[in-house]
Copies of this chain bind each other. A is one copy, B any other.
Amino acid sequence: MTEDKLTGYRGSLRKALESAGAEIGDRLEVTVNQQQYRGSLMPRVETYDDWHLIIKMVSGYNVGLAYNETMKINKVGTAPKPEFKQPPLPEAEKGLPKVSIISTGGTIASRVDYVTGGVISAMTSRDLLGIVPELVEVADVDADILYSVFSEDIGMEHWAGMAKRAYKKIKAGADGIIFTHGTDTMSYSSAAISFALQDLPCPVIFVGSQRSSDRPSSDNATNLMGGVYTAAHAPFAEVCIGLHENTSDESISYLRGTKVRKCHTSTRYAFQPVNDFPIARYKNGKIEMLNERYRPRQDSEPKLLNKFSDKATLIKFHPDYHPASLEYFLNEGFRGIIIEATGLGQVHQKLWPMVERARKDSVFVGIVSQCTWGRVNLNVYSHGRELVDRGAVPMEDMHGETAYVKLKWCLGQTEDLDEVKKLMRTNLVGEYNPRTPFLGRME
């Protein structure tokens, strides 16, 4: 692949940049609509339409300037070309811990298809080590490709396979596991593996990238390096997601696999904890623990519980929600439904008879909130109590994705509704945070 010095730019904007002799990384002075901007030329990214010129200003912010014929571009300096910026590493040690990297696909393992301009998913584990050769200094790394799929196509069968592969690697002596995974459904998968692989002796870390791996600004090298170091050395033994904590290239936060949501389509720090603190932070080659509740690394026997049911669904309630569209799932023999209700857990009265029917049909109904943060409480308003009276179960501070994945898992473990209810209400792997430390939003 030949290097493109104006990655992502096309058409007349590209020509204007070529005329100015500009390359990615150069310092530019751009005048448009009588305003002047100075900064370094950035590769074009998806967030903007392709007639936008992107520069990183001294403030550290990127700004997108819409191209028109009045735009003037002057090259005022040649900056060092952007490159992978890696956190400083400790000295290589002898007898390094073993870390297994299991690849499932996603942006961390994808490349731009220069024919269509889109991104396609394709990479070998050799490529992965080729991109970040320093990995071998941090841990005794092995890398396998388990799947090569976009994350939106990942479901319960992949979860079962992922849990099984990680289980085998741990039994074979791995001191930590890395899953590379597309970010779009990463928090569903991290929740699934949290339930499917219990009593962990070591960390299982999901790593991904919000940028294509061929781009200078790609965050995958940093995330992978930090992830491998943390998998090898961290004092916790839980499933978590580890991506950039903020706009800095230097700090990565590890968020509990059941308490995390992708909150932004495209920033590198898209993942935010939901009703929990991060477990840990990796920065400057050190791991800092941030949460007083965590499972310590230990010499335990992992349990593989990788059965899920296909008879669960997640619905988002909204005004004028048609009760018949909930009834559909009852008619089709579904065994469990998670309702993303409003606020503290309310739905309109027209839905109550369907909740009642679900109880008669022995179908589990769990209530979560469509508010990202906070805790459902069906005891505050009379309408909440009407739901409880009809058998609906409040999911406390669990958010929709985790409740849905947990329900699929519970229904995979037992046929008995009472047992499902009991499991759903039990805090198995930290999916419930019993304490809301402050009334304020946590993020």
Any B CB within 8 A of the CB of A373: yes
Contact in complex: A267, B61 (CB < 8 Å): no
Q: Which residues of B contact A382 (CB under 8 A)?
A: 113, 116, 118-120
Q: Which residue of B lies closest to A347 (CB)?
A: B152
Instruction: Report the minimal beta-carbon distance from A274 to chain B, rounded to whole angstroms.
Output: 11
Contact in complex: A340, B316 (CB < 8 Å): yes
Q: Which residues of B contact A349 (CB under 8 A)?
A: 153
Instruction: Report the minimal beta-carbon distance from A13 to chain B, rounded to whole angstroms.
Output: 16
Any B CB within 8 A of the CB of A40: no
Instruction: Report the minimal beta-carbon distance from A74 to chain B, rounded to whole angstroms.
Output: 23
Which residue of the partner chain, among B116, B117, B372, contacts A263 with CB atoms under 8 Å? B372
Interface residues in A404-443 (C-beta closer than 8 Å to B): 404-405, 408, 435-441
Any B CB within 8 A of the CB of A22: no
Determine the main DSSP class of A at the interface with B: loop
Contact in complex: B348, A152 (CB < 8 Å): yes
Q: Which residues of B contact A343 (CB under 8 A)?
A: 151-152, 182-184, 262, 265
Any B CB within 8 A of the CB of A344: yes
Known: A150-B381, A184-B342, A263-B441. A47 touches B322 (CB 8 A): no
Q: How far is the CA of A184 from the CA of B349 in the complex (A)?
A: 14
Q: Which residue of B lies closest to A120 (CB)?
A: B382
Q: Tell me which of A120, A324, A341, A441 has the highest count of chain B C-beta atoms within 10 A of its own C-beta.
A: A441
Q: Interface stretch among A27-35, A226-234, A290-298, A307-315?
A: A307-315
Any B CB within 8 A of the CB of A63: yes
Q: How far is the CA of A436 from the CA of B266 in the complex (A)?
A: 12
Any B CB within 8 A of the CB of A299: no
Q: Which residues of B contact A328 (CB under 8 A)?
A: 325, 328
Interface residues in A342-382 (C-beta closer than 8 Å to B): 342-344, 346-349, 369-377, 379-382
Any B CB within 8 A of the CB of A154: yes
Any B CB within 8 A of the CB of A81: no
Which residue of the partner chain, among B313, B373, B408, contacts A325 with CB atoms under 8 Å? B313
Any B CB within 8 A of the CB of A385: yes
Please name 12 pairs of A and B residues whose Cβ atoms are closer than 8 Å in the assembled complex, sorted by A: A47-B374, A61-B438, A116-B385, A118-B381, A118-B384, A150-B383, A152-B341, A152-B342, A188-B318, A265-B344, A325-B332, A372-B372
The interface of chain A, by Cβ under 8 A from chain B, is 45-48, 61-64, 113, 116-120, 150-156, 182-185, 188-189, 247, 262-267, 269-270, 310, 313-322, 324-325, 328-329, 332, 340-344, 346-349, 369-377, 379-385, 400-401, 404-405, 408, 435-441
Besides A183-B343, A247-B440, 18 other CB < 8 A contacts? A47-B436, A63-B437, A63-B438, A64-B436, A118-B385, A152-B341, A155-B320, A184-B342, A185-B342, A262-B342, A262-B343, A263-B373, A263-B441, A264-B373, A313-B318, A314-B318, A320-B408, A325-B328
